[in-house]
Structure 1
Amino acid sequence: MKLSRKPGMPHPRLPLPKGQQEDLAVFQQWLGEAIPMVGALGISEMVREGDALTWQLALEPNLNDKGTGFGGALTAQTTLQGWCWVTLWLREQGLARDVVVAEASQRFLAPVADNYRLICTPLEPAGLAQLANMLAERDKGRIALTHQLYCGETLCLEASGSYAVLPQR
């Protein structure tokens, strides 16, 4: 049975993984329930390796009128991926916190003409340590992330975003 939500009604949080590795298939299923548009974005796989979160995506649900990737869908994917990156990192730390995008920008370099992969990493190598320090000192923090979208070996889009971890309620 699907939950019916109204605006302003938060979706229940996914339980923390409690000392075990996050099951990304379970996280992706929860994500689709929490944010209904996720099911339409064509995410076929999520993989975490080191500081990188990589998604494999299908082009078909993201087509524009020219038969290539729709910029609005690609932008939504980068924003959501950054939110997921921070949320998954927090969950790894045993923290259930609210995350919001504070700033985002994109640069379109080439048309996306086939299925593609999107890779998200911290913009700065020290970004994670800085975020951890801010959370410890001020109970809130920010991290800058970068995204690269590849269609085959062609870099089609570069994006960046700043994501804020809000204070505990």
Structure 2
Amino acid sequence: MFRLTNYQIKGNIIYRNNNNRYYLKFFFQQYKPHEYRFILTNLFGFKELDIHITKKITKIIDRNGNQYSSIREMTKNNNLFNINIPLQMLPYWFKGIPINPLSYMINHHGLLSNIVYKNRQNIFIIKYDGYSQQDIFKLPNNIKIKYKYNVITFKIYTWILE
């Protein structure tokens, strides 16, 4: 799984907290070992966020063309998601790889079932509710990330492996 560094994922996101619920489509692409692109679009196909992540910088462009260098900076000005998710962990979580977790559990099939991860003072619980067979890999197709009262559910319907 660590060798899987050139792939694309397409799917839906459901974000909910105590007050809001959003439905979005997403496209995630890892095109080099430490370079990613993560695009969120609304149901009409308009971009809400376009996120570029490299080893040295993160660049976020919102639907109005405003640019930010971190999720924290963006959430001060944009209320789409009020969650400071560690973007650098997404590629690992999408592939079902527990990097530096507080704890993790494996299910009876030998696949990752959840991760508890701490970033600064924030605790994230990542739950894997389903896997699909892709070539020789079983890759996650239903992932929930919980943080305080926020839940982001990733329903992955396409994995493109290169």
- Give TM-score, length-normalised by structure 2: 0.36
Which structure is higher in strand share? 2
Bigger Rg, structure 1 or 2: 1
- Give TM-score, length-normalised by structure 1: 0.35
